[in-house]
A and B are shown apart, each in its own frame.
Chain A
Amino acid sequence: MTAHRLTGYRVDPDLSPGHGIDRDAGITVTVDGASVPAFTGDSIASALIASGRLGCGPSIHMSRPRGILAAGVEEPNALLRIEARTPGAPSESMLPATTVDAVDGLSAHWLQGMGVLDPAGDDAYYDRKYVHTDVLVVGAGPAGIAAAREASKTGARTVLLDEQSAPGGSLLSGRDETIDDTEAVAWACAALDRLTAQPDFTYMRRTTAIGSYDANYVVAVERSAADVAAPASAGVARARIWHIRAKRVVLATGAHERPLVFADNDRPGIMLAGAVRTYLNRYAAAAGQRIVLATTNDSVYALLEDLHTAGIAVPVVVDSRPEPSDRARAALEATGARGVFGAAVVGTSANGQADASDTGGTADRGRVTAVSFASVDGSGRPAGAVETVPADTLAVSGGHSPVLHLHTQRQGRTRWDEAFAGFVPEAPVSGQSVVGSANGAVSLGTALEQGAHAGHAAAAETGARGPLVVPTASASAPGPVHPLWLIASPGAPAGPHGPTAPRAPADSEAPTTAQPLAGNGTPALAPEHWASHFVDLQRDQTVADVLRAVGAGMRSVEHIKRYTSISTANDQGKTSSVNAMGVIASLLEDADPASVGTSTNRPPYTPVAFAALAGRRRGDLYEPARVTNIQPWHVAHGAEFEDVGQWKRPRYFPRAGEDMDAAVLRECAAVRTSVGFQDASTLGKIEIRGADAPEFLNRIYTNGFKKLAVGKGRYGLMCGADGMLFDDGVTMRLAEDRFLMTTTTGGAAGVLDWLEEWHQTEWPDMDVLFTSVTEQWNTIAVAGPRSRDVIATIAPDIDVANESFGFMEFRETQLSNGIPARICRISFSGELAFEVNVPTFYGLAAWELVDDTGQEFGITPYGTETMHVLRAEKGLVIIGQDTDGTVTPQDAGMGWAVSKLKDFVGKRSFQRTDTARPDRKHFVGVLPVDGVTRLDEGAQLIAAGTPVTPEAGPVPMIGHVTSSYLSAELGRPFGLALVENGFNRMGEIVRSPVGGTLVDVEITSSVFIDPEGKRRDG
């Protein structure tokens, strides 16, 4: 460990409480290669400031020197890349130095507004947790603690979240405050100690609520203590994503301070006044040694007192308000500091180029060396001389913006509060309350009161009651706020483009506005005089950029922020959003920022790592895969798999040296000439029972099912009410009141839903029940001219002769190895084929029996690709591949399966004018004329002679290729397509693009083999 170098910026214990640091635990961090001494409890930013170095990476576009501005998540400038803590782990980019805890040995580098995602994999654990609570309190500042205390003591289950590592919120930034006659930070810690001893109370520190969703569903990120203290250890989650459902939510999320908009307001050394106070009191770190304060409100006077106590010089307090408030007067008197009222900072001087020998390299480059200010007169122009005082730091307070992200994410409305000069909740969201400075409370006493009442009421609304106790603290009446949105530079010409000076308000209620409009409604300010008045530090956007946006005709903040990119960086405009609205309103001479609209905050409140959101759902756990219990055989036999829905299905079984084409051609040939077998277990299977089952099926399927005999099956088509094909499959009648429906693999869940919907919502009186039995049965398809020989051997008890066991019939039997089975004669290839169904427990044994038995015929396992080719050769449609929700049974050439005798779902739609058109897109075959080119699935088809040139304009399409394969049987490629008026184009030559050239394609029947259907009987 490096020896500590006291720098003069770390304040002695008797001068600063240093609530947040452990002065006995010295550590060292490294920033841009330089060692920085720190204490446990420091952030990287506070450690740097305590070393007298507040410079950070330059600005993103203009490369201007920048320094630490804030002390929390709102920091726009000081972005770090944290280097990997363990070999092989990824570095993390875009972390504000103000939010990264200093841990010994940590190494970081400054970024210029942009990071690079480390391609290294993040192998740390990230967990997801769910919790239900009665009351959720977000924020452990004074208001939040008061709320949690009142809620928890009623017995209501209470969760308190806070992004900091210690409770107290704003109290950590202060000193000498008391609550219930106790030092305030001690009060907070004691309150938490008592609360955490209670049952059903949970305090989660280092936990940020990042999103608020309907019905009080809040998502939060908890960063683990282990991550802070040491490299992640095995089995310990680095972060947890909490999903919290709360009956009541209390938002005590505080407020962010706003910077002031004046020339060169981005220089290092210009900091938020509240941040200067946080660094001083929480971290015992002095931001500077000569600090000018500039404000629009009372909040800086506590800082003035604290700086005075710490012995840090404050040459002047520049206050926009015409008269000192009581608070200001008292503080100035007590400290002897000079206050200038009705004035504003109009500029700063800065260091020149960096002294390269400085240990920080860029530590002091561009840092403030002097501050210039001037009084502003009643019309807002600088009045009198500009005065300049030397200073190394300028602490600014342009007012406060309540943190209402979680409120507005729930469409909670806000209103502009003139007295507070900020957006406050118009009313809380149902089931929520907003308290403390998030609700515009200025004094500690008010915050405590709001918090206590909200916690008490929230618990009461869940049915838990207890006595209400409101913590007491001094409640001072807040002085007025006098916002300044635009502060002109001295010496900028007034010229023909209009005045460049801001106009001061006539009274304290109206914010200062410029006079920017040149009569015709366009801003008259010259952008060149506003090019260093920064509105968004992270995006490097200035008033000049806003002027250009307004000059381009934009008026709404929603448009201007997109035009300029203001508030769109990863800080989401926490310090820039309201200032942008104030600037726009001033330019448009509107009374208050609310008049230009409000922008919408979206989750996450602060950036969250994708790895944390993914949690453990990565790799094999990314999505559950369904496999049949024949899967081990498929794997052992080298199957290549494809995803069908959630199922893993063998696509083909390549032999050594085979690619997919070769394997599929071989598998197809085996089925056409001898026998193949396929695991068809993934087909959806739904058992349908009940006295009304036949009638129900009759209404759902386009063809008749009432008269289907027991022991037989029938291929059926389902349509939506719009008459479009929805699913297909074979349904077998197991008994008078019992059917087994098969569906497509991917459509199984949807079909079950469809059946339930019609039963429950339209025909609830029908006696019918549906049960998914997909996983109860294994189905083995055995296809090919020798399939009967295989079945005859494995099922010795049944007569498999064609006359005895007809097509679309099934038999219950016992296989030769004793397995009970249901064997059906079903073909999806046009060949003689059977399906052997066995209870899942026996699936693998039955499969192996088929395999063993078929060896003498060279039985060949085949996958989905071969199945697709075989059915395509026979012109059999695959719903969802050859159809797309706009195809009727008639379009698909299956009018034969549409009953004319009965009604069914979708039938009425066949009479619709468009559906009844004879020239709709029809399902046809396509053959590339050259006999060798394989068409692209999805490729468009155009009529012959259609020009394809830029001059001819858009190319009319007549259809597209839905399926395309090589055929072993045909010895050539072939395809299927949907083509306008296709049934009446047989023999026509059309064209389709393949690899950039158009090839001739003949429209044919979709049935390429055995149109007479002779093969199916063997």
Chain B
Amino acid sequence: MLLIDCPHCGPRDEVEFHYGGQAHVPYPVDPYALSDRAWAEFLFYRDNPRGPFAERWVHAVGCRKWFNAIRDTVTYEFLAVYPMGSPPPNTSTASPPAHDSAHDSGSDPS
């Protein structure tokens, strides 16, 4: 049972949260400018790294707020939590999550 540090409510059990997949994959500003391939990559392709991974969580049965987190996919340890729209912080063992080309054409809501 993960212990997740909601930025608004503090540490709570994993069952209060929903997982939101990879972070920093913004909705493309102009989806129609993308090739089918690039659009499909936005829709369906996500990174699956071994180690630190920036991902989205929502405190679904708590404050209902979305936030970002860096989590190690090997140890499941949360290395950082940070607000939606913020760039990923430097965690000691974390390298910034990779963006692929499809994602670069979008913009972060920050």
- Chain A interfacial positions (CB closer than 8 Å to B): 213-217, 243, 245, 411, 430, 721-722, 753, 756-757, 760-765, 903, 907-909, 911-913
Complex formed: what's the CA distance from A913 to B39 in Å?
12
Contact assessment for B27 and A721 in the assembled complex, using a CB-CB cutoff below 8 Å: yes
* B63 CB to nearest A CB, Å: 11
In the complex, which residues 14-31 of chain B have their Cβ closer than 8 Å to any Cβ of chain A? Answer: 14, 18, 20, 26-27, 31
Contact assessment for B39 and A215 in the assembled complex, using a CB-CB cutoff below 8 Å: no
B9 is an interface residue with CB less than 8 A from chain A: no
* A431 CB to nearest B CB, Å: 9
Contact assessment for A913 and B36 in the assembled complex, using a CB-CB cutoff below 8 Å: yes
Q: A760: which of B14, B36, B39, B66 is its contact (CB, 8 Å)? A: B66
New A-B pairs, 7, CB < 8 Å, besides A215-B2, A907-B31, A912-B39: A214-B3, A216-B3, A721-B27, A756-B64, A761-B84, A763-B109, A911-B36
Contact assessment for A756 and B36 in the assembled complex, using a CB-CB cutoff below 8 Å: no
**CB neighbours of B44 from chain A (8 A):** 722
**CB neighbours of A245 from chain B (8 A):** 1, 3, 13
A and B contact pairs by CB, cutoff 8 A, 19 listed: A214-B2, A215-B76, A217-B1, A243-B1, A245-B1, A245-B3, A245-B13, A411-B75, A721-B27, A722-B43, A756-B58, A757-B58, A760-B65, A761-B56, A761-B109, A764-B84, A908-B34, A908-B39, A909-B39
**CB neighbours of B56 from chain A (8 A):** 761
Q: Which residue of chain A is the closest to B77 with respect to CB atoms?
A: A430
B interface residues, how many (CB within 8 angstroms): 30
Q: Would you list the 6 A-B pairs with minimal beta carbon distance, nearest first?
A: A908-B31, A215-B3, A217-B1, A760-B66, A214-B2, A213-B1
**CB neighbours of A763 from chain B (8 A):** 109
* B60 CB to nearest A CB, Å: 7
Complex formed: what's the CA distance from A761 to B20 in Å?
10
Contact assessment for A757 and B27 in the assembled complex, using a CB-CB cutoff below 8 Å: no
**CB neighbours of A762 from chain B (8 A):** 26-27, 109
- Chain B interfacial positions (CB closer than 8 Å to A): 1-3, 13-14, 18, 20, 26-27, 31-32, 34, 36, 39-40, 42-44, 56, 58, 60, 64-66, 75-77, 84-85, 109
Complex formed: what's the CA distance from A411 to B72 in Å?
14
Q: A753: which of B14, B58, B84 is its contact (CB, 8 Å)? A: B58
Q: B36: which of A213, A430, A912 is its contact (CB, 8 Å)? A: A912
Given A213-B1, A909-B43, are A757 and B66 neighbors across the interface (CB < 8 Å)? yes
Q: B66: which of A411, A761, A903, A909 is its contact (CB, 8 Å)? A: A761
Complex formed: what's the CA distance from A430 to B64 in Å?
30
**CB neighbours of B75 from chain A (8 A):** 411, 430
**CB neighbours of A913 from chain B (8 A):** 36
**CB neighbours of A722 from chain B (8 A):** 43-44
**CB neighbours of A903 from chain B (8 A):** 31
Complex formed: what's the CA distance from A763 to B84 in Å?
11
Q: Which residue of chain B is the closest to A749 with respect to CB atoms?
A: B60
Given A214-B76, A762-B27, A908-B32, are A756 and B39 neighbors across the interface (CB < 8 Å)? no
Complex formed: what's the CA distance from A847 to B27 in Å?
45
Given A753-B58, A753-B60, A909-B39, are A764 and B1 neighbors across the interface (CB < 8 Å)? no
Residue among A214, A722, A757 with most chain B CB within 10 A: A214
Complex formed: what's the CA distance from A411 to B44 in Å?
30
Q: Which residue of chain A is the closest to B28 with respect to CB atoms?
A: A908
Contact assessment for A217 and B34 in the assembled complex, using a CB-CB cutoff below 8 Å: no
* A463 CB to nearest B CB, Å: 16
Q: Which residue of chain B is the closest to A764 with respect to CB atoms?
A: B109
* B46 CB to nearest A CB, Å: 13
**CB neighbours of B18 from chain A (8 A):** 753
Complex formed: what's the CA distance from A430 to B93 in Å?
15
Complex formed: what's the CA distance from A245 to B85 in Å?
31
Contact assessment for A760 and B43 in the assembled complex, using a CB-CB cutoff below 8 Å: no
Complex formed: what's the CA distance from A909 to B64 in Å?
28
Q: Which residue of chain A is the closest to B42 with respect to CB atoms?
A: A721
Complex formed: what's the CA distance from A215 to B17 in Å?
15
* B68 CB to nearest A CB, Å: 9
**CB neighbours of B42 from chain A (8 A):** 721
Q: Which residue of chain A is the closest to B78 with respect to CB atoms?
A: A215
Complex formed: what's the CA distance from A758 to B94 in Å?
27
Complex formed: what's the CA distance from A761 to B68 in Å?
10
Complex formed: what's the CA distance from A761 to B85 in Å?
7
Complex formed: what's the CA distance from A539 to B43 in Å?
50
* A404 CB to nearest B CB, Å: 18
Complex formed: what's the CA distance from A275 to B27 in Å?
65
Q: Which residue of chain A is the closest to B61 with respect to CB atoms?
A: A749
Complex formed: what's the CA distance from A999 to B5 in Å?
58
**CB neighbours of A243 from chain B (8 A):** 1
**CB neighbours of A908 from chain B (8 A):** 31-32, 34, 39
* A768 CB to nearest B CB, Å: 14
